Amino acid sequence: MYCNQHTIKKSYYFQGKGLHTGTYAHMKLLPAPAGSGIKFRRTDLRGKPIIEALAENVSNTARSTTISQKETVAVTIEHIMSALTGLGVDNALIELDNIEVPILDGSASPYVSAIVKDGLEDQGVPREYINLPQSLEIRDDRSGSWVRIDPAAAPSADITVDFNSKILGIQSAHWDEHTDYAREIGVCRTFVFFHEIEYLYRNNLIKGGDVDNAIVIVEEPVNEDQLSSISNLFNLPGIKITDEGYLSNLQLHFPDECGRHKLLDLLGDLRLAGGYLNAHITAYKPGHSINTKAAKALRALLK
């Protein structure tokens, strides 16, 4: 498949706290020249250093994807990377005045909504798809997760998610270049299990989590004291557990929204391979660690 490279038509501005650090950041999404790919610029640091969004710069995958070059760091980049990928953006510059990308509503929807209304700028230069010389498979025997990348005529992805959860069950999701990413994938929010919240908070993660940006799955029995503790943490009196097994902070967009969000993450993480893959991706129990290992292995294979 062949088409031209695209960038965004104008600049967009976002602000909010980071999911894990809780730090408040202002972020600008800017057009970029053909062939430049996706880069992050830390405007709060001396010299305004740039980090290339490439797999070899991944430095942490604890509940999100972090990239860094020397002392320059950008945390939780996967949602904006996914939005750009799903919409067909080849080149963009992301300016950030703090360490972590704002979590916003926990999905890619705020980015998608801003970009879609203006459309993209055709840059008149052919897109250089990444073509694989052979299939590639990365496995994690401990978790049972795997990601397989097979050469194909066009990009596509199929994932299966299994948390051994009676609430989620087994969920699957699909994406290709004909999928309506904005409506079917981009709106799907991040999620967490109720029993994980206290542990994550104690370990300096989800400091910016609140009831507006996360689906909370209640897999195990919860007493009133535990509910009260979470209500205080999220500053939401009267929070309850729905009949479906979720906290009552929000309504699901889809019954399989959590599975679709894992596909959203996969698209963002694999974009760190450096562009669009002429490949069919299949993944079982994907996560940031194995996703980015697959992207690193792919870049090593191409070298």
Residues 205, 185: Cα–Cα separation, whole Å: 25
> Looking at this protein, which amino acid is placed at residue 21?
T
Q: Are 86 and 155 in contact (CB under 8 A)?
A: no
Dist. CA 3–CA 191, nearest whole Å: 35
Smallest CA-to-CA distance from 210 within 50, 17, 10 is with 17
Q: Is 195 considered catalytic here?
A: no
- Please tell me which residue in 79, 261, 280, 288 is annotated as part of the active site: 288
DSSP state of 128: -
| Separation of alpha carbons 251 and 249, rounded Å | 7
Q: Which residues pair with 24 in a beta bridge?
A: 17
What's the rounded Cα separation, in Å, for the pair 253 and 83?
Answer: 17
Report how far apart, in Å, the C-alpha atoms of 183 and of each of 108, 120, 204, 296 are: 11, 17, 33, 30
The per-residue b/e assignment along 108-134, b for 16 or more CB within 10 angstroms, e otherwise, is bbbbbebbeeeebbebeeebebbebee
Three-class secondary structure assignment of 210-229: CCCCCEEECCCCCCHHHHHH
Q: Where in 76-169 does DSSP place strands (E)?
A: 92-96, 120-126, 130-131, 136-140, 145-151, 156-162
List the catalytic residues.
Answer: 288
